[in-house]
Each structure stands twice: as C-alpha cells, then as structure tokens.
C-alpha cells in the first residue's frame, strides 16, 4: 500500500483533533447550560462592559474598525443568550464619554455602527416578539442628527413594551450621569419653589437615584467586563455599589456562550451580603 504524504496525514490529524476539541467544548457548554438553568438565581439586571474590540482586531491582524464591527455582531449574539435565559434587564456599554475623544474616523465608524444597529433592532423580530424596551442612555447632544434619529425611532417603537429592558449606554460616563441626576433634582426643587439651601439640606441618596438614566430599572446585580481589564472605568458608578463583578480575559468579539455561562455560574455561587 502506498503511504499517504506526510502533509496529508498531518492535515487529517489536525482536523480530527479540531473536531474532538469542538465536541468536547460543545459537551462542556451543554453541561454549563444545565447547571445555570438548574441554579435558578439569575441577575435581575446584567451590566456588560464590551471591552477589547480594538485589541481583538490588532491581535487578529485586521483593521481597527473591523474589531468594532465584530463587536456589534457579538452584542446581537449575547442579546439572544440573555433572551433565552429570561434576564429581565441588560445594560451594554458601547461608548464612553472618555472614548469620544479618540480618532474622529474611529468615532465616526462607531456612530455609523450605532445607527445601523439601531435601525436593525427597530425591525428585529426578536425585539418585538419578546417585547424588549430599548433605550439609549448617556449624553447624545453632540451626535450627528442621523444617529439621533435612528435612536429615537428605536426608542419610540419599543417604548410601550413590558419585556426585557435593554439599555444601550453610549456617550455614557458614570460621573456625568450623577452630575445630570443632581442637576435634574435641583431643577425640580427650584420649580417647586424650594431654595438651594433647603434643597441641599433635604437631599437624600434616593433623590439622586430617582433621576439617574436607569431610574426605572433595578440596580445591576452582576457586571461582566471582557478583555482582562479589572476596573469599572466609570460604568454605573452609583448603581453598582452592591453589584457583583466578573472579569473575563477574552476580548469582547471573542466572547463565547461558554464564557457567558461560566460567568453566570460564578454569580450563582456567590453569597450576596450587600455590604453587611
């Protein structure tokens, strides 16, 4: 019998090993899904810091903008995982106020993706079948008109829904959110005829909470950040005081369902004491 060329044999071996790894990963993912489903406890509000798009592109040898495009596609995929599990509220951080000072071409690309995704979500059957209410939170006044129009259209089409709350944090910063909340509260007190001194003396944490961008959504139970960075960078500073955190080494576009399930299993194993 004629022996197979070495390169053919190696290729066959590599394919066999790859298939075996794929089968093992699939089996592990199914086991994780069962464990998470049986664990019962899921976040009422999940925060996601979508970090690592640019580094993913650089590591993959592709253009920087493609990292953001793959990141947008991943957000769609993760939304589906959240819907399947019935998580009531999700906030995804797409663009921070700090990052708006990046290269104008990069910001223009991100805003173009935001417009595209807002238009896609406004007609996405999953959004309407699951009655997902979508809102953009942050400071958007400097955004181009076409981006604002797409966001407003999405919000208007889903404003009456009572299913999942999906907050898209864009042009968002936690400090800016707190400042805006204080301004709104003081303005409401001034409208009621209260002096600044009286308003300051009566100010409580609940007054600030009532004017946050997410005032009608429970504070996040669980916050996941990808890319290996171990910090919040200003994400939901007020609301996250008792949140549980999970930092995942993988870049956001490479975030897999198995990574998502591992994070949720970790959350289910924690004893939340709320500072006590």
Q: Which residues fall in the annotated binding site?
A: 51-55, 64, 68, 96-98, 102, 225, 231-233, 244
Any domain includes 274: no
**Is pLDDT of 131 > 70?**
yes
Q: Which residues fall in the annotated binding site for Mg(2+)?
A: 51, 244
In this structure, what DSSP letter does residue 229 have? -
Tell me, what's the pLDDT at 272?
83
Q: Tell whether 111 and 29 lie within a shared domain.
A: no
Q: Tell whether 58 and 138 lie within a shared domain.
A: yes
Q: Tell whether 185 and 253 lie within a shared domain.
A: yes
Q: Tell whether 217 and 166 lie within a shared domain.
A: yes
- pTM of the predicted structure, to 2 decimals: 0.89
Q: Tell whether 121 and 257 lie within a shared domain.
A: yes
pLDDT digits over 28-81, tens only? 999 999 999 887 799 999 999 999 999 999 999 999 999 999 999 999 999 999
Q: Which residues fall in the annotated binding site for substrate?
A: 52-55, 64, 68, 96-98, 102, 225, 231-233
Any domain includes 237: yes
Q: Tell whether 182 and 160 lie within a shared domain.
A: yes
C-alpha closest to that of 108 among 61, 135, 143: 143
C-alpha closest to that of 91 among 198, 157, 183, 172: 172
Which residues carry out catalysis?
51, 99
Q: Tell whether 18 and 145 lie within a shared domain.
A: no
Domain range spanning residue 15?
Answer: 1-39
Q: How many residues does the chain have?
A: 276
Q: Are 45 and 220 in contact (CB under 8 A)?
A: yes
Q: Tell whether 231 and 143 lie within a shared domain.
A: yes
Any domain includes 18: yes
């Amino acid at each position: 019998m004629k022996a197979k060329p070495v390169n053919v044999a190696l290729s066959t071996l590599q394919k066999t090993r790859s298939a075996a790894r794929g089968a093992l990963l699939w089996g592990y993912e199914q086991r994780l899904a069962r464990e998470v489903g049986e664990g019962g406890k899921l976040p009422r509000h999940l925060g996601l810091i979508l970090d690592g798009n640019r580094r993913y592109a650089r590591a993959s040898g592709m253009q920087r903008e493609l990292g953001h495009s793959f990141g947008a596609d991943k957000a769609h995929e993760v939304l589906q995982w959240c819907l399947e599990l019935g998580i009531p509220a999700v906030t995804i951080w797409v663009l921070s106020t700090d990052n708006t000072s990046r290269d104008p071409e990069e910001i223009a690309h991100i805003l173009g993706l935001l417009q595209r995704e807002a238009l896609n979500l406004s007609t996405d059957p999953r959004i309407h079948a699951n009655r997902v209410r979508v809102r953009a939170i942050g400071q958007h006044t400097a955004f181009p008109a076409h981006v604002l129009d797409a966001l407003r259209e999405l919000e208007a089409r889903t404003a009456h829904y009572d299913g999942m709350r999906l907050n898209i944090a864009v042009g968002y910063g936690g400090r800016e959110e707190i400042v805006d909340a204080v301004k709104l509260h003081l303005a409401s007190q001034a409208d009621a005829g209260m002096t600044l001194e009286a308003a300051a003396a009566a100010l409580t944490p609940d007054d600030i909470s009532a004017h946050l961008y997410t005032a009608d959504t429970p504070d996040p139970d669980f916050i996941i950040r990808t890319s290996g960075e171990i910090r919040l960078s200003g994400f939901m500073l007020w609301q996250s005081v008792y949140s549980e955190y999970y930092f995942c080494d993988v870049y956001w576009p490479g975030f897999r369902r198995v990574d998502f399930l591992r994070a949720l299993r970790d959350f289910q194993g924690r004893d939340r004491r709320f500072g006590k």
